[in-house]
Amino acid sequence: MLSLVLVSAIFVTACSSSSQEQEPQQQPDQNQTQTQPNKDPKSRQLVMLIPSENSTLDPATNYGIGAQAILPWVYETLVQYTAEGKIAPQLATNWSVSGDGKVYSFQIRKGVKFHDGEPLNAQAVKTSLERFMAIGEAASYIYKDVVEKIDTPDDFTITFTLKKPVGYFLLSIASPWAGGIVSPKAIKENEKKGDLAREWFMGNTDGTGPYKVTEYVPKEHSILERNPAWWGWAEAKNPNPLEKIMVKTVTEASTQRLMLEQGEADMAFGIKVQDAPDLQKNAELKVIPVSTTTARILAFNNARKPTSDVKVRQALSYAFPYDDAVASYGGGSKRMVGQLPQGMIGFDSSLPVYTTNLDKAKQLLSDAGYGSGGLKLELVWVTGEEDGRKVAELWQANLKKLGVVLNIKEVAINAFSEMLDDPEKMPEIVAHMWGPDYPDFTGIVSILYDGRQQKPNGNNMSFYQNKQVDALLDKISVEVEEAKRVEAMKQVQTLLLQDAPSLWVAYNPVLVAHRKNVQGHVQHPLFEYKVDFTAVHK
């Protein structure tokens, strides 16, 4: 009995004291346009929830999606890809390209300092990028594959001589995974046994960005504090810049929603898209359904029967329930047209798309010799992708009408990645997602459909091979004239539609929601977790 009383007492005390712990934050008038600095100290703090963890802070090795939320504000690159979809100066103020497209020359911004006080110069940029390439992980291929040498003709000029012309070089080096510039002093002081200070950079930061990480708990949260010495504050014109930002990993969507609704969090990036209608009724929240550039693709096994037959692939493409699938994904999900997202150079809305047409599918199956049935296929997707499973079941129902048996199987991620390496092991159809590292055709189509990049030597996971496509991809890679690139891109997309090596469904929707008092946020078109903290205020 005494123990019951004790436990109850603890509970009652906790509950009665909870008002202190749960003291509501004083929020500024949400309708008031912020022209004057907000004097409430809590208005200078922001909590952003993401569903992904950051297992390292090192820009040379972090290849996770969570990197978008933190690294761009701590480590800067020479150029940046803005929310308006433009390449803009960052650590480089201007640049030029040689006539043959092989030499890029950048002028480094003067007066910039690392968080440790050391000045930024061309040599510092070179040292940092050489470290990135030497480690060789994450998206280091952006430099490693194309750069022949890096020179620093003077303190504030850096030149990249490329192995061959690269039409997308500027776009690629603006990626959040393109190796933000780290302090050479930090590398030197913290290097252990030739590790290039990898151990240190996992949990510490030293860049030039507007924020620095002052607290990092792996898998839990990072706290960023403002760097008042950042070169860009005057240009940012933020009346009330954030002093402290917590980027917190919360994997459970319902927990994110509760925290946002109660005001414990200011921005949430992991709430289920299906919750959008409910959230929109909340007057304190702004809800932004976003169609990301992460594509949901069904890759066919082009190296093995029956899906090595183009007629079978085309038939399957006509049997797919596109409208139902897009409706099922919900949110801002958009149907794919071609293989590029809208807004990216090369996107062409006039390209034909496959539509659900069971008659056409039937005809094609008959032409392929499966008119009286007998076609059995296996579709594999990764555990946890419930949206994928629902859509697969819709497709299964359509195929059943055509006498095609589609077995749906889910596998864990570790087994999934292994089965992609061998065309004999890979099932007929594999559901996967693909998001580009940088906003160019070569970051999507070339990687996925270059016949010389078949798994395990690359990321062509459909084992597709078309020499005409390969030749066009080579042309797109080296061509610097945009009009010629775009023309070649159109040809490739048309060929791919005819060959149907994959089935392109829709872009993955993400629900972005924030408290209405969070102002200045413009959703990035490419990197959904990249919030411009220099512009956001409360």
Residue ranges that bind another protein, judged by CB under 8 A: 1, 3-4, 6-7, 10-11, 14-15, 17-18, 21-22, 45, 47, 55-56, 61, 63-64, 135-138, 140-141, 144, 198, 202, 217-220, 223, 244, 246, 248, 250-252, 254-255, 258-259, 261-262, 264-265, 412-420, 432, 434-435, 437, 456-459, 461
Q: Residue 220 or residue 386: which is nearer to another protein going by CB?
A: 220
The label of the residue with tokens 């490329």 reads 162
Q: Residue 20 or residue 31: which is nearer to another protein going by CB?
A: 20
Q: Residue 423 or residue 458: which is nearer to another protein going by CB?
A: 458
Token pair recorded at residue 301? 């096994």
Q: Residue 107 or residue 175: which is nearer to another protein going by CB?
A: 175
| Nearest approach, Cβ of residue 391 and another protein (Å) | 19
Q: Residue 40 or residue 324: which is nearer to another protein going by CB?
A: 40
| Nearest approach, Cβ of residue 251 and another protein (Å) | 6
| Nearest approach, Cβ of residue 246 and another protein (Å) | 6
| Nearest approach, Cβ of residue 341 and another protein (Å) | 16
- 3-state class of 46 per DSSP? strand
Q: Nearest to residue 232, comparing CAs of 108, 81, 109?
A: 109
Q: Residue 171 or residue 259: which is nearer to another protein going by CB?
A: 259
Q: Residue 208 or residue 249: which is nearer to another protein going by CB?
A: 249
| Nearest approach, Cβ of residue 234 and another protein (Å) | 28
Q: Residue 283 or residue 483: which is nearer to another protein going by CB?
A: 283
Token pair recorded at residue 426? 């890979």
The label of the residue with tokens 């959008």 reads 276
Cβ pair 106, 78 in contact under 8 A: yes
Q: Nearest to residue 52, comparing CAs of 71, 72, 67?
A: 67
- Give dist(CA 481, CA 486) in Å, integer: 9
| Nearest approach, Cβ of residue 255 and another protein (Å) | 6
- Give dist(CA 356, CA 320) in Å, integer: 6
Instruction: Encode 108-144 in three state secondary structure.
Output: ECCCCECCCCCECCHHHHHHHHHHHHHHCCCCCHHHH
- Please give the single-letter amino acid code of residue 314: Q
Count CA atoms closer than 13 A to 62's CA, side-chain side.
30
Give ∠ CA 331-333-338 in degrees, rounded to 5.
175
| Nearest approach, Cβ of residue 8 and another protein (Å) | 9
Q: Residue 138 or residue 312: which is nearer to another protein going by CB?
A: 138
Based on the number of CB atoms within 10 Å of its own CB, is 245 exposed (0-12), middle (13-18) or buried (19 or more)? buried
* Whether residue 456 has a cis bond before it, omega within 30° of 0: yes
- Give dist(CA 438, CA 526) in Å, integer: 8
Question: What number of other Cβ atoms are within 10 A of residue 103's Cβ?
Answer: 17
| Nearest approach, Cβ of residue 76 and another protein (Å) | 22
| Nearest approach, Cβ of residue 138 and another protein (Å) | 6
